Amino acid sequence: MRRLLILLPLLALAGACSGEKSGGKPVSTGSSSGRVALLLPGSDKSSLTAPPVFKARFETSKGPFVMEVHRDWAPIGADRFYYLVKHGFFDDTRFFRAIDGFMVQFGLNGDPKLSGVWREQYIYDDSVKQSNKRGFVSYAKGGPNTRTTQVFINLKDNSALDSRGFAPFATIDAEGMKIVDMFYDQYGDSSGIDQGQVEKQGKAYLDKSFPKLDTIKTAVITDPLPPATPGAKPAAKPASGAGATKPAPAKKPQ
């Protein structure tokens, strides 16, 4: 059975979100949005708790898919994901790890500054209430209570991961999984993609060394539409789109 490992370099924490396990001091600066909310984790208080069920539409280099998140499956993970999507964390990022017949992984920001802020913004583990079947989405982690921003889409039934504490929080329907199945996977898991360099150099590292990796153009909350953050510009109404089906693991599944 393959073993999931994820590299989590040590870096000073920049804040704390609701339900987080963090060594930094909580940030309490009122509401903020977009990049400011990402640079100051937890500063947008209106985004700390996700709706009971919400959908996130991902526009990718292969086409769109929709992820449906269920907070009751994994509330801490769902809350973190809602905050990240609402403030554009996944925009213009790569599916940097794709292993045929296993999973597809994303969640490293292309901006080294943002990567530095979030790489140790740990959240506590959720109980495993769903199984890591094809189309289900879980967080990557390197041990107890080490989830941050990296998530994976299961390409097949990986239920063996359930007992290891990987708690699915979302799913992608069959149509969406057709998109996920098209993501470039020929770099494999031994191609030398260095997560440390992704965090250090950002998108430029992947663009130069692994140009065929597929891209998340944008990820937005579509249903229900999130409330506007006070003082923020209203978000453009996203186009309607199809769904998808599959979850993925972390740094090095072995």
Q: Do the Cβ atoms of 184 and 212 come closer than 8 Å? A: yes
C-alpha separations of 105 from 100, 172, 223, 236 in Å: 12, 14, 24, 27
The answer to whether residues 167 and 127 touch, using CB atoms and an 8 Å cutoff, is: yes
Rounded Cα distance between 205 and 199, Å, is: 9
Q: 178 versus 9: which is more confidently predicted?
A: 178
**Domains and their CATH numbers in the chain:** 52-223 (2.40.100.10)
Say if residues 79 and 73 touch (Cβ distance below 8 Å): no
Q: Largest Cα–Cα distance of the chain, in whole Å?
A: 50
Tell me the whole-structure pTM to 2 decimals. Answer: 0.79
pLDDT, one tens digit per residue, over 141-162 is: 999 999 999 999 999 999 999 9
pLDDT at 193: 86
- Classify residue 123 by its DSSP letter: B
Give 86-128 pLDDT, tens digit per residue: 999 999 999 999 999 999 999 999 999 999 999 999 999 999 9
Q: What is the mean pLDDT of residues 165-191?
A: 93
Residue closest to 93 by CA, chosen among 216, 249, 179? 216
